[in-house]
Structure formats: C-alpha cells, structure tokens
Structure 1
Amino acid sequence: MGVPDISTDLYRTVLDAAGAAPGWLQGFAVFFTEAGVVLLGLLMVAGWWQTRRGSARAMGLSLLTSAAVVAAYATSEVAKLIIEQERPCSAVPGAVPIASCPELGDWSFPSNHSTIAGAAAMAVFVCRRGALGAVALVLGALVAFSRVVVGVHYPHDVAAGFFLGLLVVGVASALGVHRVTLLVQRFRPHPLLGPGVARPTVADSAPDTDGEVTTVLSAVPAADTAPTRPLPPAPHWPPESLDDQRGQG
C-alpha cells in the first residue's frame, strides 16, 4: 500500500514539533498514548458495573459494546497483516520518534491503538451519552493523535483506525441490542449481569400494638398479588330445623 504524500508531510510536521517540545511534554505524550487507552477501558468497566442494577437494555449495550471493541481490534489486526505497511519511523528518512519504533513486521496501517481508542470511546458514548460520552470521544481522538506525536504512525493510520473503531461499535450496537437484551432478561439474576432494576413496592396498612395504623412496605408488586375473593355468608345459627323443633315442643 502506497503512503499518501500529504500523510507523510503531516507526519514530518508533527514529529518536528514533538522533537522541539520540552522533555517533560515528550514524556507525557509517551505516557498518555498508553494511559489513555487504559482510562477508556476503566470507563467501560465502570459503565458495566453501574448497569448491573440497571435495565436489561443498558446491561445488554454494555456487554455488546465490549464484545464489539474486541471485534474492532481483531479487524484492524487482520487488516495490518494483509496490507503490511511499514512504520513511518522506519520508512521516512531522518525520522526520530520520541517513542521506541516497533520492529519490522509490526505493521502500521491501521493503528491498533487508534482502533481500540475509537471503539472504546464509542462504547462509552453509546452506553452513557451526555457529557461523559462526549468526553470519551474527545479522549479517544487525542489518544489516536498521540500515536502520530510519538512518531510510530502516519496520520492516515490513526484516522482509519479511529473511524474503524467507531463504525464497528456503532453498527454492532444498532443491530444487536434487541437480541442481547433478550439474553440478559433470560439469564438474570447472575453475578456478571446483576439483579437488574429493583421491583416496585406497594404499601400495605396494618394496625400496630397501640391501635394506630402503620404503613408497611411489601416486596411483592401490586401486579403480582392474587385477587381476593368475597367471603361466603355466615351460616344462620341455630338452624331453622332446630327452631321449628323448639317451637313445636
């Protein structure tokens, strides 16, 4: 696969800027390119833990997106083995990366880091939405860009990997959420799936020892209570036959 000239030029520009940065900033970039992926993974784990007491759909999305992240990584790894694009830190003359350049055979396109970052960020966005989901997407994009900053990927490597991760998780979530939700409903409660949403309670009234009415919460939902039947009328006593006998006596 040929490398676009614009990608090589952008790589040189970013790498020159990274090489001119202070040492502490270079060290942070090398740390962040790995730690950012770990942080996204922790956000996914935290989301799964919270959905253990959530709805079956929320738990289903958490499990489905986790599996989709693995599928996205596997897809990028297969693509790398087929395309076999050399790393820029080895192919571009005069390139001096601030991170260690991988050995020959650890191919460049697409970026596995960027694929995982994009997939994990999309997983958090799908499951959590709101501000946290938006932050996850920004964090994933920064992790992808950091692979260019440290000098181990071309810009088109990280762009392809990032959008691959977004696409795989997004499509899997849209197509598989219904079936996975049904599976979660079937296998709850389970240590990994959690007890689910707490069932609603109904208020019963019972007299206490002082004769006052006290509200007691019952764990049985109102919909599950068996319907009550009217009591049969009390039998007349004494029977009419005895009354007649007495009257006759």
Structure 2
Amino acid sequence: MSVEQLNLDLFYLLNVPDHASIWMINYACLIAHDLVYVFLLMFAIAWLRGNRDVKTGIIKAFIFTAITLSISEVLSAVLNTPRPFVMDVGRTLIEHAPTGSFPSNHMSIFSGIALAYYFSPHRDLGRILLWTAWLVAWSRIYVGVHFPIDMVGAFLISLVVNLAGLPLWWKYQDKLMDLILSIHHFLFTHFIRMGWIK
C-alpha cells in the first residue's frame, strides 16, 4: 500500500461519518476552530499572573512554536498540496481557504507548544498538551480540512525544531529571560505595584 493510499484510507476513517451526531459535530468544530483562542487567553493570563518559571515556559513555547509555524507556512506555500475539499474528498464541516494542506498550521502550533513543555521541567504538562495536540489533529481531519499526513508532518517538524533548539535554549535562556522580564517590568511597573499582575 502506498503512502498516498494509506493517507486517504485514514482520512476516510477519521472524517465525519454520515450518521454523526450533532453533539460530535459541534465538539469537533469547537476543537478544530476555537481551541487555539482558548489557549491564547490562558497563556495571556498565565503570563500576567505567573512567576518567572511560568513566564520562562511561555517564552520557550512561543519561540519554538513560532519557528515551527514559520517553517510550516513556508512549506505550505511552496508545496501547495490540495486540501480534502479541494479534491472533493470526504465531508467538510467548516469553511477554510484553499491554501496548502501540508503541513498543518494548527498542528504546528499545538505540537510546538506541547513539545516545548515536554522537553522541560514541566514534562507532565507537556504530556497533557501532547494529547491535546493529537485531539486537535483528529478534529481537523474530522471536519474535513486536513489529511492525516498533514498532522504527522507538522508534528515531526515541531519535534526536530525542539530537539535542535534545546542546546541553544539551555545556553541563552537566563540572559533572554532577564532581558524580556526587564522589558515586562518597565512596561507594567504601575500594575505590578498595584498587585494586578506579576
């Protein structure tokens, strides 16, 4: 069996079936489309209220995810592989521009965050976030905007970025955090004194 056929078979297995319940459809659409905004809100609150350790984790996740997403964007534009609905394959539940399908930007974001925490002192949180990343991967296939191979590709890119970047992170994280936190304290001095943020 070819990779293309395996990819297509897995897509049909995971894509929304004809008899799907409205509850499952709404759940998948929520995860596929809105969970990323929930994560942004959670990270914003964690940044404003968290200590140095929390902020360090957020900055690490941001940097590694930004690199992963940049690579994903370039590959998506260069390869420009068609999405399922462009090929008239399966069912599509949400609207999406016919941009390149491989690799998945959503999976790049969620796996970038998850692996940044997994390869850190917060490995237990990383494990939970990895499960979340694969839940997002399932949902994007379920709603018909990605193929399974798009998810695997994004995850592997994120894994390579995290493993390759760790030595540099370990070497420069303290200096980088000192700089970022000095800017943070300069910008929010008034609110920090009032105890609204840390």
Q: Judge same fold: TM > 0.5, yes or no.
A: yes
- The aligned counterpart of 1:168 is 161
- The aligned counterpart of 1:152 is 145
Q: Which runs of 4+ in 1 moved over 6 A?
A: none
- The aligned counterpart of 1:103 is 97
Separation (CA, whole Å) in 2 of partners of 1:133 and 1:83: 30
The answer to whether the aligner puts 1:68 opposite 2:61 as a matched pair is: no
- Give 1:97's aligned amino acid: T
By how many angstroms is 1:38 displaced? 2.8
**Could you give the per-residue CA deviations for residues 130-159 of structure 1, whole angstroms, max 9, x where no partner exists?**
432221111111112211011111110111
Separation (CA, whole Å) in 2 of partners of 1:171 and 1:47: 27
- Give 1:12's aligned amino acid: Y
- Contact kept, 8 Å, 1:97 with 1:151, in 2: the verdict is yes
Q: 1:125 aligns with which of 118, 131, 140?
A: 118
**Could you give the per-residue CA deviations for residues 193-221 of structure 1, whole angstroms, max 9, x where no partner exists?**
999xxxxxxxxxxxxxxxxxxxxxxxxxx
Segment of structure 1 superposing worse, 133-142 or 173-182: 173-182
**Could you give the per-residue CA deviations for residues 159-202 of structure 1, whole angstroms, max 9, x where no partner exists?**
1112322332343233223213123346754435999xxxxxxx
- The aligned counterpart of 2:15 is 15
- Contact kept, 8 Å, 2:57 with 2:117, in 1: the verdict is no
1:128 and 1:146, CA in 2 relative to 1: closer, same or farther beyond 3 A?
Answer: farther
1:132 and 1:186, CA in 2 relative to 1: closer, same or farther beyond 3 A?
Answer: closer
The answer to whether the aligner puts 1:88 opposite 2:84 as a matched pair is: yes
Which one has more relative contact order, counting CA pairs under 8 Å at least 6 apart? Answer: 2
The aligned length equals 187
Separation (CA, whole Å) in 2 of partners of 1:67 and 1:87: 28
Let me know the Cα RMSD of the aligned residues.
2.9
1:187 and 1:131, CA in 2 relative to 1: closer, same or farther beyond 3 A?
Answer: closer
**Partner secondary structure for residue 175 of structure 1:** helix
Name stretches of at least 5 consecutive residues in structure 2 with no aligned partner: 190-198
The two structures have a TM-score, normalised by structure 2, of 0.78
- Give 1:121's aligned amino acid: A
**Partner secondary structure for residue 90 of structure 1:** coil
Separation (CA, whole Å) in 2 of partners of 1:33 and 1:52: 31
**Could you give the per-residue CA deviations for residues 23-58 of structure 1, whole angstroms, max 9, x where no partner exists?**
12101111111233234434544554565444xxx7
- The aligned counterpart of 2:172 is 179
Segment of structure 1 superposing worse, 163-172 or 151-160: 163-172
By how many angstroms is 1:80 displaced? 0.7
Structure number with bigger Rg? 1
- Contact kept, 8 Å, 2:91 with 2:143, in 1: the verdict is no
By how many angstroms is 1:14 displaced? 1.8
The structure carrying a bigger strand percent of its residues is: 1
